[in-house]
Amino acid sequence: MANENNKTREQLSWVKGLLNNLPLLKWVKKYSADRILPDNKIAEGFGIRITPDSISIGDTGMAKMLVTGATFAGEEHTRFNAKHLFETLKEIGNEAVLIVTKGNDKTGAELVLQYNDSVVVLASMPKTDGSGRYG
Amino acid sequence: MGKRKNPTEDEHLLSVGEIEEKVEKEHSKENKNLGAEEGERKEAERELKENVSALEKRFSTKIEFI
């Protein structure tokens, strides 16, 4: 009986974690839950470090994937501030094409948004030391 | 008791032709919406096929959803 109670508590605790996961709930509300993957193998393939509670779920067309309870741990080249990208997209709309320039190891790449006959260039985030690592 | 309003005094009654025109307009609007939804659904299906196939190639695995 005590074992069953513990099991139920564990299961409910997992469900509670799910219900408290606002990004996941928002994602499902927008795209539905039809693209939940049975495991996180693809996420791991992208260099994402997962936890036992991680969930991989794509949007309607699998053009983007949300992985909950996860951290990107793969190799990286350049970081960009999402705030700058969000501010730019708010101004120019979402019809632009996102281009990552080739860049180099010292300065990193730049992010270019090409829309119609105009371009916005976003600077990369500064690296914290000479070794080319981010903080 | 106040005077009972005669609806024909201040309400415009539609002729059969006008009603048919209105119904026709509504139908065409609905059909247009249905067509747009169908187009979006097909576009999403095409996108899904393309992206899943790209992922399957990249990770040499078969992707299935729950």
**Per-residue confidence band for A66, with pLDDT thresholds at 50, 70 and 90:** very high
Main-chain dihedrals φ then ψ at residue A55, nearest 5 degrees: -130, 130
Q: Read off the pLDDT of residues A6-31 as tens digits, 9 standing for 90 and up.
A: 889 888 888 898 899 999 999 999 99
- For residue B27, the SS3 value is helix
C-alpha distances (whole Å) from A14 to each of A20, A32, A67, A100, B15 are 10, 20, 16, 39, 63
Q: How confident is the model at residue A93 (pLDDT cuts 50, 70, 90)?
A: confident
Residue A133 CA: distances (Å) to CA of A19, A73, A91, A122, B55: 36, 13, 31, 19, 29
**Which H helix or E strand runs over A56?**
strand A56-58
Residue B3 predicted with pLDDT over 60: no
Nearest alpha-carbon partner for A101 in A83, A90, A118, A114:
A114
Determine contact: B63 vs chain A, CB below 8 A: yes
In whole angstroms, give the CA distance from residue A45 to residue B2: 80
Pick the closest to residue B51 from A98, A39, A64 (CA basis).
A64
A54 with A43: CB under 8 angstroms? yes
Beta carbons within 10 angstroms of residue A134's beta carbon: 13
Which whole number is the average pLDDT over A36-63?
Answer: 94
A62 Cβ under 8 Å from any chain B Cβ: yes
The pLDDT mean for chain A works out to 89
ipTM value greater than 0.85: no
Question: How many residues does this entry show for chain B?
Answer: 66
**pLDDT, tens digit, 9 for 90 and up, residues B12-54:** 678 888 899 999 999 888 888 888 888 888 888 899 999 999 9
**Chain B residues closer than 8 Å to A60 by CB:** 44, 47-48
Residue B9 has pLDDT above 60, yes or no: no
CB atoms within 10 A of CB A58: 23
Which chain A residues contact residue B55 at CB under 8 A? 42, 62
Say if residue B2's pLDDT is above 60: no
In chain B, residues with a C-beta closer than 8 Å to the C-beta of A62 are 47-48, 51-52, 55
Amino acid code (one letter) for B33: N
Residue A90 has pLDDT above 80, yes or no: yes
Instruction: Give all strands of the β-sheet with A111-115 in edge-to-edge order.
Output: A97-100, A111-115, A118-122
